[in-house]
Amino acid sequence: MDQAADDWVPHSAHWGAFSARWNGATLDVTPYAGDPAPSPLLQNFSNAMRHKARILRPMVRKAWLDRRARSERTFDQKFVACPWDEVLDLLAGELSRIKTEHGGAAVYGGSYGWSSAGRFHHAQSQVHRFLNMAFGGYVRSVNSYSAGASAVILPHIMGGYEAISRHNVTWDQVAEHSDTVLAFGGMAVKNSDVASGGVSRHIERAAMQRAARRGAIFYNVAPLRDDMPEEAGGRWVPIKVGTDVALMLALAHTLLVENLWDSGFVARYCTGFEIFERYLLGRDDSIPKDAAWAANVVGLPATAIVDLARRLPRGRTLITVSHSLQRAQYGEQPVWMGAVLAAMLGQIGLPGGGYHYALGALGHTGRRPNAVPIPTLPQGKNGVADFIPVGRVADMLLHPGERFDYNGRAMRYPDIKLVYWAGGNPFHHHQDINRLRRAFNVPQTIVVHESAWTPMAKFADIVLPATMTLERDDIGAAATDPRLVAMRKAVDPIGEARDDFDIFADLSRRLGVEQAFTEGRSSRQWLTHLYEPTRRALLDAGWDAPDFEAFWRRGELELPSAPDDGGFLSAFRNDPVGKKLPTPSGKIEIYSKAIAGFGYDDCPPHPAWLPSTEPPDVRHPLTLIANQPATRLHSQLDFGAYSQSKKIAGREPVRLHPADASRRGIKNGDIVRLFNDRGACLAAATLSHDVMQGVVQLSTGAWYDPEVGAADRPLCVHGNPNVLTRDIGTSRLAQGCCGQVTVVECEKYQGTLPPIRAFDPPEQA
């Protein structure tokens, strides 16, 4: 019987702190009272707890259970329900076999970490801890789909990704000091609605509004007008998709030839400008990267480019680059060129000025870090050296032993026999899903912990039902949010669902490593244990430091913030000798000798304009933007009430300009087919002048739903754009994902619409 909750209980999610109450059928949700702009995504919880998509019992793929010779996995395969003891015995035996025959280097621990805001029941931490204890290690992934290119290029040119994105210019500084904010890729607040670990106060809209009222000008350099909120009063600079580097170069050229740049700053704080200057002026290729050259590339008048360049040195100017720019081929270049443009303006390290990567891309950014540590589950030591960039999982599975380049290293893909996945849906975040489907047919066994029948769960061999956050106790915290939240259980687990920790504890006992995994602690004892370092740091600093039981009764605890000091870039500006940057030269590297030594033809040693190798053409004249949705986090809770309320006839909406729609006979609400040589999907047309002509925008996250009976490239009837996107690395340097943009054609769908089965449980044998 479900727990009857008379009182509201505190809780936290990636998109906000809130209180919840189970009313017997659905969940009542109230945002945290101190949040000035709570996210509507919280309403996805209301119907999620007892949705038909929830997994009720442990399940095993029938063909795998029958041990049929390499039976191909499909999305309509049959499953057999098994008792917990039976399935855990079966899984323990399979894990022992893999370990004996192949070792930890044959296991890929796949988890993307977004399944829980809680610090203990964090699926990624739990599965990695288990694999380290049970196998002595596993093949891991590095970087992320969101920042695969930037996380690699930033340390070469300026410093660590985390330090630049999370301890740099703050929203308070923007509100008080910034006169011009040039935002490449915009600042969409749907992105800053979310933060790993949670966010208790959404401050972005108010900060931009304060700055705008003071007279600051925000420039939204993006193909989508609404990639900046109305509160900013932004000026839309619509440029062709993927041409940001060309515009940055032209702005830099104007600053240089009109002597509007800060040559003193560049000389003191940077290295390699003289080599980049030759490229900028076209001394070697006879192509000056001036406004006239850029006009044809980006689709803006040359005069507009020059006027924009002349504004930048006036007052305090901040250059920002969003995640979207580097989620494309050669994605390292806009990140690098944005930093160079900011360096030429000479304001790096000043309050509200200089350079910020990913400001507004997540709720973590633009905030002061906490002055005390937050609870974190230790994952143990990984004894396996092999790893891959996270976006190269299909390459790894399809090409074991094949050589690949990464950040100056020549590496080889490991030979994976078992994939263990907890807390993620790669059939959402990976590109070219038809290729990914072939890749996931290579491993001998796929194990998934999941709360609902995601596409990854339907494609697995062993599926273990996991609880959702509201069905367990945990601690919610983020390193840049000043509030610790007691995430109290609001409702009993559905069916036979269990916490990941309890599943791994039982498996560990069967494998003889229970003590190493649990350390003799129950879940409640772990919460107390993980809370203690935070309490001790608060106590040492003279702050309120209640014991765990007092914190749990209180429901929340305020955490102190570190000073708003601008981080390491401000320290470097004030003392470039004593506070050198963590780069080979100790300075901002406009030209990188290290990257030059790698010899990569797709990543030059200074920022450069490299046009996409897949531009629009006659067959595929439209550019598709596959961005973060506004109705959910990635694909999480796509079956939730808020996500479903924004679909049209049950399908994901795709936006296109009225002129593009008219040429194709498409009207508002029509179901359309988007296609290219990789695949096709259906979506519901929404006409909008906020989208540039020649561009269509279809957000990611609609659960992949292949048409029944189709062959190698089935139609996704629900609207997942990753059936269309390219599965290639950004370059040999970073090997990041290129999932943001691709080229397509769009047509009105003719014929009987196929049913949507995305949220239906699979057939039981």
Query: In what helix (H) or strand (E) does residue 697 lie, and over which residues does it extend?
Result: strand 695-697
Mean pLDDT of 110-129: 87
Q: pLDDT tens-digit profile of 291-331?
A: 999 999 999 999 999 999 999 999 999 999 999 999 999 99
User: Can you name the residues that pair with 746 across neighbouring β-strands?
Assistant: 674
Whole-number pLDDT of residue 3: 45
Distance separating alpha carbons of residues 699 and 687, to the nearest angstrom: 15
Distance separating alpha carbons of residues 105 and 235, to the nearest angstrom: 52
CB-CB neighbours of 755 under 10 Å: 12
Are 265 and 343 within 8 A, CB to CB?
yes
Q: pLDDT tens-digit profile of 581-629?
A: 999 999 999 999 999 999 999 999 999 999 999 999 999 999 999 999 9
Catalytic residue among 22, 64, 108, 114: 114
Are 265 and 353 within 8 A, CB to CB?
no
In the annotation, is 114 catalytic? yes
Distance separating alpha carbons of residues 687 and 109, to the nearest angstrom: 42
Catalytic residue among 15, 22, 64, 112: 112
Q: How far is CA 618 from CA 615, 621, 622, 676, 697, in A?
A: 10, 5, 9, 12, 19
Among 471, 476, 634, CA closest to 18? 476
Mean pLDDT of 92-108: 97
Q: pLDDT tens-digit profile of 402-436?
A: 999 999 999 999 999 999 999 889 999 899 999 99
Are 632 and 638 within 8 A, CB to CB?
yes
Question: Which domains can be identified in the chain, with CATH numbers?
Answer: 59-145+385-477+499-558 (3.40.50.740), 150-361+567-590 (3.40.228.10), 622-748 (2.40.40.20)
Distance separating alpha carbons of residues 608 and 596, to the nearest angstrom: 13
For tokens 């004593």, the residue is 578
In the annotation, is 642 catalytic? no
Among 202, 191, 192, 188, CA closest to 236? 188
What the block records as the tokens of 579 is 């506070």
User: Can you name the residues that pair with 634 across neighbouring β-strands?
Assistant: none
Task: Dihedral sign for Cα 429, 450, 643, 678, please.
Answer: positive
**Which is it for strands 217-221 and 235-237: parallel, antiparallel or unpaired?**
parallel
What is the per-residue DSSP string for 632-666?
SBTTBTTTSHHHHHT-BTTB-EEEE-HHHHHHTT-
Distance separating alpha carbons of residues 375 and 525, to the nearest angstrom: 13
Q: pLDDT tens-digit profile of 536-590?
A: 999 999 999 999 999 999 999 999 999 999 999 999 999 999 999 999 999 999 9
| Sequence letter at residue 172 | D
Are 393 and 110 within 8 A, CB to CB?
yes
